[in-house]
Structure 1
Amino acid sequence: MPADRPESIEKIVARFQKAADPKRRYEQLLWFAKKLDPLPDDYKTAENKVPGCVSQVFVVADLVEGKVVYQADSDAQITKGLVALLIKALNGLTPDEIVQLTPDFIKDTQLDVSLTPSRANGFYNIFKTMQQRAQALLDGASPAAISG
């Protein structure tokens, strides 16, 4: 595991590595989904929608004291778990840290082999959108003004 990965990601990787089989990993995702705070309906707009996802996924980012704070939601529980996992991993990092991350940590969780191809693709689209929102914050733009 790369030593330069944020601790928040390392904790998630360790949690999923303890899950012995795909069923347990799905249970973890559903647990993350249940822990996700609801996204207010006024944020569920076309500009906040993640492109390339089969499910409806919405992501909003704000900068609070130099750190990114994401809010998100999805209409599908597994996808909601994926977005919740990413929020847990990325919230509290600086925009620069987020922009420089690679999504390869998903392989270390072993979720990539458990997910269907469309969900795995959705994960990468959500991650990319979250990075774009962080880049927009770095650039001083409205984070929702950047679309995928």
Structure 2
Amino acid sequence: MTDALLSQPGYWAECRLNTSTSDEDVLVGAIDVPTANQALRWTRVLVRMLQSLLTEAEAEPVDLWLYSGQGRARAQLREQRPIELLLKPGRFPGIQLRITVTPVVFLRLADRDPHNLPACSQRWTQPASVAGALAAHTRPAPEAAEQR
């Protein structure tokens, strides 16, 4: 059997939350996809959802990436180089959200059928949501709460 039959190129994208009070990262979300465009689409959707955590000034470079930085990101991924975005919401001191997309090679599973997953897939617990992860690790800064 050739390597082409045993493996398939693709992309692994994930978002992790890190706090200054913990040594652990919390997996907020992840996806495996076959193309760079699909990985970037997932990243764009995630970044747009997370923008509500950012102040106007913090959101400016994020907007710039959303509207003009993806061409470079797509080129990097196609050159088999990973990309990373780091969000540090000022309303939540000590929190950072790291979004990475990494080119990978997946091993094909002989019996994988996306419509009929094995029983073990039902035992997997979903990763933490952003809101749940933020609530578990920090509270908004007092000055941010007063401005509302």
Normalized per residue, the structure richer in helix is 1
**Normalising by the residue count of structure 2, what TM-score does the alignment of the two structures yield?**
0.28
Larger radius of gyration: 2
RCO comparison, higher one (Cα < 8 Å, 6+): 2
Decide which structure has greater strand share: 2
- When normalised by structure 1's length, the TM-score is 0.28
